[in-house]
């Protein structure tokens, strides 16, 4: 291969590595270094090398917050995929015109920022101008009250955030699926209602697991929805890290908590990948 032909791929690879170094590797190294510094009441930190920031993680409070963060992200990811997959199947079976309409709609939903979405759901769940007042008007709720902040409101916000992303990730493979397999299953006597569970779910099992893990990582780092729609006892580690690093001006502790959560996330992903690989083999 001539040097001219190899220059382009090398340039693209170099630019990709440079972007990853600037926006991920260098901040990660800085965060790890700062996590060993000593907090300074007069500033963010004092240069030192101590383990006390990591030692604070091994307390009941941070254990509870970490567990809460994990199960909130896992539950939200599973719920998003469980709702998005049937919708994508339905979209892929309509005419091309309606498929285009739904894809544009899903893309449009992604244009809203997380803050705008959080405020919208906050208004919709409020007692004075939202869903509770509408349910009272139609006679379904005699004594309406605000639905937020609550764990359910927070989960609705998380599901809304991830719904368009999951749908757009799944759509290409679902739209190109071989429908003859479904027709053969029906011909062989499989009830149409069971085709979803016996044919479609096994066919897209790998894709569904992958997008669930992707959404788990994404929801684990969401900050606005737990803050706006959740109660203090529903707050995830992302909120606590921000509170410690900025609210309490304890940047080393916030960095240490972030490093620990990064390690926990990687461990969960590795265990999930090994479990998935074991089932496939």
Mean pLDDT (whole number) for 242-263: 86
Q: Is residue 274 pLDDT above 80, yes or no?
A: no
Report the candidate in 32, 92, 69, 10 with the shortest Cα–Cα distance to residue 18: 10
Cα–Cα distance measured from residue 163 to residue 112, given in angstroms and rounded to the nearest whole number: 13
Cα–Cα distance measured from residue 251 to residue 274, given in angstroms and rounded to the nearest whole number: 35
Q: Is residue 41 pLDDT above 80, yes or no?
A: no
Q: Report pLDDT for 63.
A: 85
Ordered structural domains, the chain, with CATH: 60-280 (1.10.3720.10)
Contact predicate 194/59, CB 8 Å: no
Mean pLDDT (whole number) for 51-61: 85
Cα distances (Å, whole numbers) of residue 187 to 97, 177, 190, 234:
29, 18, 7, 49
Q: Report pLDDT for 226.
A: 92
Q: Which residue did the predictor score with more confidence, 82 or 44?
A: 82
Cα–Cα distance measured from residue 246 to residue 242, given in angstroms and rounded to the nearest whole number: 6
Percentage of the chain modeled with pLDDT above 70? 94
pTM: 0.83
- Taking residue 92's Cβ as centre, other Cβ atoms within 10 Å add up to 18
Q: Report pLDDT for 167.
A: 92
Query: What is the average pLDDT value for the chain, to the nearest integer?
Result: 84
Contact predicate 87/174, CB 8 Å: no
Secondary structure letter of residue 46 according to DSSP: B
Cα–Cα distance measured from residue 86 to residue 213, given in angstroms and rounded to the nearest whole number: 18
Write the DSSP string, 152-177. HHHHHHHHHHHHHHHHHHHHHHHHT-
Q: Which two tokens stand for residue 19?
A: 């972007």
């Amino acid at each position: 291969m001539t040097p001219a032909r190899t220059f382009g791929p090398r340039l693209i690879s170099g630019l990709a590595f440079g972007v990853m170094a600037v926006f991920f590797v260098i901040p990660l190294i800085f965060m790890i270094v700062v996590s060993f510094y000593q907090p300074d009441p007069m500033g963010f930190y004092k240069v030192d090398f101590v383990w006390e920031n990591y030692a604070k993680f091994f307390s009941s409070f941070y254990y509870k917050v970490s567990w809460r963060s994990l199960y909130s992200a896992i539950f939200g990811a599973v719920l998003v995929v469980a709702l998005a997959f049937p919708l994508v199947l339905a979209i892929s079976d309509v005419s091309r015109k309606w498929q285009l309409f739904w894809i544009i709609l899903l893309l449009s939903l992604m244009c809203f920022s997380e803050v705008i979405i959080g405020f919208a759901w906050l208004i919709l769940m409020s007692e004075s101008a939202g869903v509770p007042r509408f349910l009272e008007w139609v006679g379904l709720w005699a004594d309406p009250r605000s639905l937020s902040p609550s764990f359910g409101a927070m989960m609705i916000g998380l599901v809304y955030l991830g719904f368009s992303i999951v749908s757009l990730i799944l759509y290409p493979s679902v739209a190109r699926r071989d429908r003859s397999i479904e027709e053969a299953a029906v011909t062989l006597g499989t009830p149409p209602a069971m085709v979803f569970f016996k044919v479609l779910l096994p066919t897209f099992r790998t894709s569904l697991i992958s997008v669930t893990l992707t959404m788990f990582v994404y929801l684990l780092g969401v900050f606005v929805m737990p803050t706006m729609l959740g109660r203090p006892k529903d707050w995830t580690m992302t909120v606590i890290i921000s509170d410690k690093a900025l609210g309490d001006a304890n940047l080393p502790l916030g960095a240490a908590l972030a490093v620990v959560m990064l390690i926990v996330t990687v461990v969960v992903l590795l265990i999930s990948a090994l479990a998935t690989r074991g089932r496939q083999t």
